[in-house]
A and B are shown apart, each in its own frame.
Chain A
Amino acid sequence: MTSFPEAARVELENHQLRTNLRHATQTIRAKRARVVSELPDWEELREAGRRIKQDVLANLDRYLVEFEEAVQAAGGRVHWARDADEANQVVATVARAHGADEVVKVKSLTTDEIRLNEALGEAGIHAIETDFAELILQLDDDWASHILVPAIHRNRSEIREIFARTIAPGIESDDPADLAEAARLYLRERFLAAKVGVSGANFGIAETGTLVVVESEGNGRMCTTLPPVLVSILGIEKLLPRFADLEVFLQLLPRSATGERMNPYTSLWTGVTPRDGPQELHVVLLDNGRTNALADEVGRDALHCIRCSACLNVCPVYSRTGGHAYGSVYPGPIGAILTPQLEGIENAPSLPFASSLCGACYEVCPVKIDIPRILLHLREQAVAAKSARGERTAMKLAAWTFRGAGRFSLAERVAGALGGGRPIHRLPGPLSGWTDSRDLKAPARQSFRSWWRKR
């Protein structure tokens, strides 16, 4: 995996992307702030959300079995998947059993995480993304750069161009309504023809076996209601104990995500209902690294995440680099703490450092994930896992210097003499990163302590 600084360097060169992102994130940021400020009990809601998720993780073994039994009692089938391969295998097997060479998909990060589309493709099954933005990316062989607004890095003239060479030859207008109509005409046929639908889930209710998908377009609901067979894949951490817990999360999620009081479509389904909707339901419970995160007392809080993306929108790093720099399905601050845990720190050692620790993410997180704290925890793991000898030596030397006031005072005098009192325009080695774009104030000729002694 390309390191974050290297990938970010490329993305930062794209000035159009930076302008688009800045505009888009600031717009969502302001909307979120407005609708959150309307609720006098927002902090209580956040705390309730945090506690419910904490309970879920602490008693996950029990809730998972309860959920499985409830799904089965309602006529669904439950599959347990240790990793991506096992989960993908379930979907392929179901599709084959029904002779489907095409499935329609609800927007789902979890299926992106396990690369379901690629796996189905290898099995000769075409997975069609039906979320408008996901469709744009799929048609362009691109990938999402935002959890909720996957094509945030594309503007409408680029989208027109993508449609013109794929699903809508000759389309000339880049009016949003015309682009949406082109997608609608293409997708309606797919919805009506599909034998199998595939979804993720925002929540799974242990008490009732109910699955919940929250969306804006209604295309998700097409996928969960029209095809006779539905496969829903969810990470094991997506459970909520009781149906009543939705009261908390359906307030937290839309306000944090799109800055809406309520999202346009909330679909709930429990097992199968005779003569209404899919007559066969498969639920895949996915681990894929989650139990590793769960075993980490500090890191496990990342599993509270409800994928709202509020942390992306407020992040000063994400809003400059965009999502692709993170090299993962989960970008932004949450990605920086989730990806290293799901994939192993050795596979993403630069991500915990992709933050200035400004804390804006923690402040907006609807389930109060202390992202800065987990970043520090993972930085410790990254340092232990890698062999950056130069840095380690420098840090050890600094620590040794700081452990003796005499040594520190001497270092100050040396720095003061070397600095020469004038701004420094160029520094050597790794420190040149500072002076490439900034001057450095020179260390003072007289440190505070030497002034203090002489006063």
Chain B
Amino acid sequence: MQIALFVTCVGDTMFPEAGRATVDVLEGLGHEVVFPEKQTCCGQMHLNSGYRRDAERLGRRFRSLFERYETVVAPSSSCVGHVREFLGMPNVLELSEALVAKLGVDDVGATFRARVAYHPTCHSLRVTRVGDAPQRLLGNVRGLELVEVADAEECCGFGGTFAVKNAETSSAMLADKCAAVEASGAEVCTAVDGSCLLQIGGGLSRRGSPVRTMHLAEILASR
């Protein structure tokens, strides 16, 4: 089927590898991926920061670009959650839920030899509600060992502008998250949201930790 990719502004700029991997995975399953080139941002940052009117304008722009597609996939549960809640567009799906719930695939034929910690991001749990789709996909990756992280469902402290406006509180949350990830024995920490990985990866990097962060799509695209 034809699938439109919403790569998200953060994904486009900071995590192009997650977008490329999303294309690889979907094309590998025989789907046609299109990329509406006029796309930019869904407006979530503006809404979350108190700039509703700007968010509404960006929302209208997003809708005009994506409402024509039957299925839109994004490698970000946070942006998808915003688009579904704020714009009411049920045709927009996060990658793992698209694979498992829409396309009925829980094994994408990937191989990735590492101990992996999965961080269930807040929006994937409580807004987009992807359920256990990411864990099911990871569970079928050859060579991959999924490890448990203490207090896994607690926020990493990103929260958009929260990370800057309340930097100390955000850092305190991050310190606990990094410690839990390191204690899990993982070599790689993965998630369905690039922004949370930006936070966790930034914290791990500052600590000089050997644990790397990778977007779920990158693991699913590994052969």
Contact = CB atoms under 8 A, between A and B. Distances in A.
Contacts of B58: 399, 402-403
Given A440-B202, A447-B13, A376 B167 contact: no
A313 to B, nearest CB: 12
A408 B16 contact: no
A321 B169 contact: yes
B13 A412 contact: yes
B154 A316 contact: yes
B50 A317 contact: no
B15 to A, nearest CB: 7
A353 B166 contact: yes
Contacts of B17: 444
A1 interface: no
Contacts of B48: 357, 376, 379
Given A438-B171, A440-B202, A380 B52 contact: yes
B164 A433 contact: yes
Nearest to B166: A5
A359 interface: yes
Given A395-B46, A431-B164, A449-B35, A412 B12 contact: yes
Interface residues of B, number: 65
A358 B155 contact: yes
A440 B198 contact: yes
B172 interface: yes
Chain B interface, DSSP helix/strand/loop, else mixed? helix
A35 interface: no
Range of interface residues on A (Cβ < 8 Å): 35 or more
A430 B160 CA distance: 14
Nearest to B36: A405
Given A358-B159, A376-B48, A444-B13, A430 B164 contact: yes
B49 interface: yes
A145 B214 CA distance: 39
A436 interface: yes
A441 B49 contact: no
Contact of A403 (B11, B61, B165): B61
Contacts of A121: none
B158 interface: yes
Interface string A103-139: 0000000000000000000000000000000000000
Contact of B16 (A433, A437, A438, A447): A447
A311 B173 CA distance: 17
Contacts of A157: none
A347 B193 CA distance: 35
17 contacts: A321-B172, A353-B165, A358-B154, A360-B126, A391-B49, A405-B40, A408-B40, A433-B163, A434-B163, A438-B206, A439-B202, A441-B202, A444-B13, A444-B15, A447-B13, A448-B7, A449-B12
Interface of B: 7, 9, 11-17, 19-20, 35, 37-41, 43, 45-52, 54, 57-58, 61, 122-123, 125-127, 151, 153-155, 157-175, 198-199, 201-203, 205-206
